[in-house]
Every structure is written in structure tokens, then in C-alpha cells.
Chains A and B, each alone.
Chain A
Amino acid sequence: MSSARVRTLATLRKALVGLETMGGPDAGRVALGHAEVDAMLRGGLARAAIHEVFAEGRFSSTATGFVAGLAQRVADHRTILWIRQDFAAREAGDLAMTGFAELGLDPRRIVVVFAKNAEMVLRIAADGVACRGVGVVIAEIWGETKAFDLVASRKLTLASSDSGVICLMLRLGASPRASTAETRWIVSSAPSPPVAEWEAWGEPVFDVQLVRNRHGATGRWIMKWACDECIFRESFSKQPTAHSQPLVTAPVDRPDQALAYARRQVG
């Protein structure tokens, strides 16, 4: 009797797992590169699902960088459809393709759509997600909106699980609400690790908080985006220690010192 019950339980569990992981033909996952995060996500960011990235308004470009990194990981050299609300474009500035190129994204594969309002963003996102040729759909919405409710997110999730196209919601200046997203992240900027004066600084570093994960635990990490390898990495950031600030006078109306010296040598 008890063995029968155990068997029933096992079959039920199996059925549940089957239901839970219903996600497209092949619920593939894309590793982000950060070992801890990948372990927490059971191997990486799930395809055929929607993921939300939240950030305060002032961290708009940090969140943009994080989303761009995720998109680069999952797009696999296919088209990135970036749908922007007009207001977001006005508030947070234009996307600069030279900057994307430096992060390792291919500007040739980015198609940007400007939509009037959040409703239109979601409609076009639904169209984009339904199209199998698209690598990733990014929907950028500014501020709180009633348009992205449970019904809307469910629609996107279904479309995404049908086609296998991943959808990233970039929500700036908004707070999380109920949705059917697979994961939810809150991003803010993190200081560059302390460097000596002659060393380069300024690689994208993110303070990332995973606040929702449908298939695992949550956590908080400092990650950096390695532009050359196009992968997320651990960043060992401390609170900024007291290191000296560069306070060298910038040449204002005269040639660079080294250059002037060289010229003297020649002349």
C-alpha cells in the first residue's frame, strides 16, 4: 500500500515537473558565465520565457548594460528587437550604437522600434516574440504601468514558450508587480574595483539582485561584464578604499607634455 502511494507520489511529481518545465520544444538555458548565478539558475537563463529587469531611474544605463549583456548571451548573432517607449527614450537618452559595439554587441543586428505608449510596446513585443527568426525581444517601459498586468505577461509567456524566443522586460523607474516572469532582477551600479592610477577602470560592473526565480533560490551578486569575452564574470569589489584621486592638471590650451617634449627633441 505504502509502496503504491510512493509510486503515485513519484508519478505526480514527475507530472508536476513536466508541467513546470513546459517551455518550448527544448527548454534550453544559456549560461551567463557567473558560476554562482548559473548554479542558482540551474545552468543559466531560461529560453522561451520572459525575464524582468528593474532599476531605479538613475541606474537606467546600468540596467541597459545588464540587459544588453543578457541579450548578447542569448541572441546568438540573431536579430535583437529593442522596443522602446517614447517617454523612456526622452527620459533616459538614446541608445548609442558605438557603446553597444564596445560591449560586444553587433549593432548590425539591432532593430530599434519606438512605440508611443506601454500598450503599443507590449503589442509589438507580442508580435516579435511570436516570430521565430528573432533572437531576443527587449521591451523597455518607463515608470509604473497598468498595461503590463498578469494577463499581458501571461500572453507574452505563452507566445514565448511557443516560439522559444526570449523576452526581456527592461523596467526603469518602476517597482515589481505580479507577473509570470521566469526571473526578476533588480540592478544598480557598483563601483569599479580599486585600481592603481595607471590601470584601466570602467568595465561595466553591476550590483545584481535576483529577487524572483521560479526554479531556485534568489541572491545578490556583484557581476562585471567582460567586453572582450562577452560573458559575465565575478567582480571582487570592496567599498572604495581611500586611494588617491588623480588630480593632474589637464592641458587646456597647449599640446600634451610628452608631445611637446618629443617636438623639442626633434627641433
Chain B
Amino acid sequence: MRDGKSADQRPLVVVSKEKNAVVIVAVDDAAARANLEPGLPLANARMICPELNVVDEDKAADAQALNAVADWCDRFTPLVALDPPHGLFLDITGCARLFGDEKSLLTNLCHALGRQGFVVNAAVASTPVCARTMTRAVSGAIVLQGEEKAAVSPLPLFALGASEETIRGLRRAGLKTIGDVAIREPHEITARFGAGLTALLQQALGQSDAPISPRKPLPDYVVEKRFPEPVATDAVIASTIDLLAHMLIASMEKSGKGARRLEASFFRTDGAVSSIMVEAGQPVTQTHTVARLFREKLDALADPLDPGFGFDMIRLSASHVELVIQEQRDLDTHAQDDDEIAALIDRITARIGKHRVLVYLPQDTHIPERAAIAVPAQHRLAAAHESAWMECTRGEPPLRPLRMFGMPEPIKIIAPFPHGPPAGFQWKGRFHRLVHIEGPERIVMEWWNEEEILPQSSSRDDAFNRLHPPHGEPQDAIDHKKLTRDYFRAEDRTGLRFWLYREGVYGREVRQFCWFLHGLFA
């Protein structure tokens, strides 16, 4: 909870609405001294203490704050898990030694978070549940392996974190501390309160362990640099990234690996952490590639990296690591070209995002707008190179347009006789008189791929509908995606070549034709 450092000296309570009653969910020290506690209705609280500073609960902001603290905690260990609503688990296995020992890590963490204005209860133990149980009662406890039972036993039951009802039930049975419950036979507890409580109890006592679920996947390689004095200038940041890239590549090189995803985290002195991620189509094995990708990304940031009062730590981590086979390149220029193209695509992608750098893959369909799908070039370059496009007939003029409109443009046509091919049409305020026209090429939509259309729910039964068909259009809402299309190639007097289609089959699907311009030929 944030420390209330405002001038307002009144007791602070946070309230939310539960079952139509405004209930206190959190209190500060002053309010606690006035005997207010979570769960008390606000009206009762005002009776006890009329001078109250009431704040509405904001769960989203709480979650955001917790996430920010979790980000900051990344500096101690890469394995940080959330324990909502206001807890965090840090797996410090093997990390404590980097900070001296567990004790100094704990004080370091509490002190730094305290400076940011948080009130922290922290504990170190061999299982997450045991540590959490300890934090509910005392702060700064370190429970060594094998001493869990002794440490946890004297604590009151609520520290266990079981549900309200369970605790009430246990109290009623005369069990007041965790130790009271622990001396019972497990099967008694299970029979009365379920297996969940038994499992929780065993974890609190260190008899069994449950893994935490970290927020981020563990990076394969991590290098970091801490600064005694915060740094803020671009030059220092760039040279630090260069240095870190050098270290990272050197450590990956030992095992012959290259990274596909790199993340730079910038830890600001005031606790804010910003991360920048770059991806590469091929595993990165060169220091200058890393530096260049990050430079592109930093240049292109919409809101530039705000150093505030400076960064006290910069970290570079690599994930999606792959084994790199050092291929002997022959004098085949195409292979070298491909490498250069891949590097170029990575650089452009780092600057403008992967959904803006595309290659096309052919699809097995005859519906023109689905004939090719665009996919990010970074991931699918090789697939695009291998793909097989349909062979074209020799001696034929192009039958498919060069440019196609995402939404076919509706046009008004004139035709010498009804339902005939058009003699001209109006498009974008210009009339095009057609000289050549060829068609129709009929394209039927893929009815075998469409999901089944459910019959429209009607208050009357189907027999009635069949006897009394609705007047007017055969179908009220025409599904344009299912209509047959008849395509025409057409050329106007100036030599512009169009691809037009009319929608539907007369009588069966539509009563009136609509015409569209789908694309333009060269």
C-alpha cells in the first residue's frame, strides 16, 4: 500500500461496493488505531470515527502498480510471479549470493521499495506459501530449511490465506493457530475442509512445494550492467548496449548459439522499468547486428526512452536461442544475397514493426481476393521462397488484375439490353465507354468451406413460413460473401483495362444485379 504522505492527517480508508453496501477494503495505520478494519461497512466506520478520508477502490490501478513493482523486482531475479491482490513471489534460488546473502537481499529490497513509498512485508522461506504466511505476521523473517514448522506454528490462522469460511470453521472447532491445525491428522482436516486446506498447510509447513508461475519466460542468456551513478545520456546508453551486446554474444558463442529475440530493460532510479524488444528472422551472432537493431528501434520509438533522473541498471537478455551451424558459404551469390536480405528485413522490421514488412504466400483457392495472403517477412521469408505459384498459360494476356481493391467499388453501368454485358460505366466521377469486353468468368464462392447457416429463429413454425413466403425480396439480408460472381475483362477508349463483376445469379440469388469494379489491369 502506498504510504499516505499527504498533509491530510485524517485516517485513510479504501472502500468498495459489495452486495449493495459500501464496505472498507483497506485501512492505513491511523485508521487501524481507530479500530477500523477491512470488512466493516463505511456507515459503521463513520460512527466510530467521523473524520475519515475515504477513497474508492481502483482495482485496475492496483494491478498496474503491482505489475510495476514486479517489473522493478526483475532486478533481483528473472523469476517473479504475481500473487494478487497485493503480493509478489520472487524465486531467488541462486540469486541471493549476488547481493551478499539472503539477509542483505531482503533489506536491500525492503529499503528500496520503502524509498519509493511502499510499505513492504517480506520474508524468505523455502516454499512460496511458507514465505507468504510469514509476511502476514512479521516482516523481514528468514526461515531456514527444516525450521518452517517452528516458524509457522505460532502464527494465527488467517495468515495461511485460506478462505474466510474455512477459517471461521476452524475457529469454531477451537483451532486458533496454524500449529493447532498441524497437529491434527491430515485426513481429519481433509474430511472436514477439503484437500485444498491440507495442501496449503503442507506447503506452509515446508512438507511439500508448489511451483510459482513466473510472469515472463526465463531468458536463456542475461547480461546486465549496474551504475553507481545513474546515467541518462544517449551516448552512454548506446555504448552500454554495445558493451552488453559484446558480453552476450561472447557468452552465447561459447555454446554456439544465436538469439532470435533480444530484450533490453532499462531500470530507472525511481523504479520505473521500460523494456524494448527486437526480433530477428535469423539467429543473431554478431555484436554489431545487435547494436544496430536496437539503434533502429530506439530511433523509431513513438515516445522516446525517458531517462527521468537516469537509469541505474541496463540489462540485455536473449531468448528463443537457436543452435547456429556455421555454414561454409561457397561463392554462390544467392546465398549471400539471402543473408543480406534477411538482415535488411530485420532492420526495417525493428523500425516499423513486423506487420508492415510482408511477403505473400499462395493459397489454394480460386476466390481472387484470397489467392495470396500477406505474412510477416521476418518469419516467413524462407517459406515464401519455397512457395509454389500457379503456372501461367503462355500466349494469353493477363487474366488477373495487377491492382485489386480491398473493397470492390460499386459502379453504375449502362447496358444496351437488360442483363447484358455493360457498354460503359461510371466510376469516380468519370464515364468509361468500353471498347472491348470479355466474359463472363463465373466464380462460385466456396460453399463447402462456409459454416452452416443456422435457420433464422422465428416465432412461427417452418411449415407456416413455407406456406406463406414473405413478400418482396426472396431474401431480406443478402449475404454478399456467398453470391456467385460473373467476372468481365473490359477496356475503355483510353486503354484502361478493368476487371468488373456482377453479383449473383439472376432469379436464383438476386432480383437485380449489382456491378462492382474489383481491380485494374496494367
Q: Which of B341, B404, B420, B495 contacts A191 (CB 8 A)?
A: B495
B129 to nearest A CB, angstroms?
51
Number of residues of chain B lying within 8 A (CB) of chain A: 77
Does B495 lie within 8 Å of A207, measured CB to CB? Answer: yes
Residue B238 interfacial (CB < 8 Å):
no
B-side contacts of A228, CB under 8 Å: 394-395
- Interface-facing stretch out of A18-26, A27-35, A107-115: A107-115
SS class, residues of chain A in contact with chain B? mixed
| Chain B residue at minimum C-beta to C-beta distance from A106 | B389
Contacts of A250 in B (CB 8 A): 419-421, 439-440, 486
The B contact surface, by secondary structure, is: mixed
Q: Is the CB of A107 within 8 A of B360?
A: yes
Q: CB of B184 within 8 A of chain A?
A: no
Is the CB of B514 closer than 8 A to any CB of chain A?
no
Q: Do the beta carbons of B494 and A191 come within 8 Å of each other?
A: yes
Partner of B352, one of A100, A120, A131, A247: A120
Q: Determine the distance from Cα of A189 to Cα of B520 in the docked complex, in whole angstroms.
A: 11
Q: In this assembly, does B496 line the interface, its C-beta being within 8 Å of a C-beta of chain A?
A: yes
CB of A180, distance to nearest CB on chain B (Å):
23
Contact of B372 among A58, A65, A107, A251 (CB under 8 A): A107
Interface string of A91-133 (1 = CB under 8 A from B): 0111111111111101111111111100010001001100111
The answer to whether B217 has its CB under 8 Å from any CB of chain A is no
**A232 contacts the other chain (Cβ, under 8 Å)?**
no
Interface centre among B416, B438, B497, B506 (most CB of A within 10 A): B497
Residues of A in contact (CB 8 Å), total 69
Q: A161 at interface (Cβ–Cβ under 8 A)?
A: no
The answer to whether the Cβ of A2 comes within 8 Å of any Cβ in the partner chain is no
Residue B338 at the A interface, CB < 8 A?
A: yes
A223 to chain B minimum Cβ distance, whole angstroms, is 11
- Which segment, of B259-267, B428-436, B463-471, faces chain A? B428-436
Is B402 touching A95 in the complex (CB atoms < 8 A)? yes
8 A Cβ contacts from B349-380 to A: 351-352, 356-360, 362, 368, 371-372, 374, 377
Contacts of B485 in A (CB 8 A): none
A153 at the interface (CB under 8 A from B): no
Q: How far is the CA of A205 from the CA of B397 in the complex (A)?
A: 11
Shortest CB–CB separation between residue B385 and chain A, in angstroms? 5
Q: Which residues of B contact A (CB under 8 A)?
A: 334, 336-341, 343-345, 347-348, 351-352, 356-360, 362, 368, 371-372, 374, 377, 381, 384-387, 389-390, 392, 394-406, 416-417, 419-421, 423, 428, 430, 434-440, 486, 489, 491, 493-497, 505-508, 519-522
Q: List the interface of chain A (C-beta within 8 A of B).
A: 58-62, 64-66, 68, 78-79, 81, 92-104, 106-116, 120, 124, 127-128, 131-134, 188-192, 200-207, 225, 227-228, 240, 245-247, 249-253
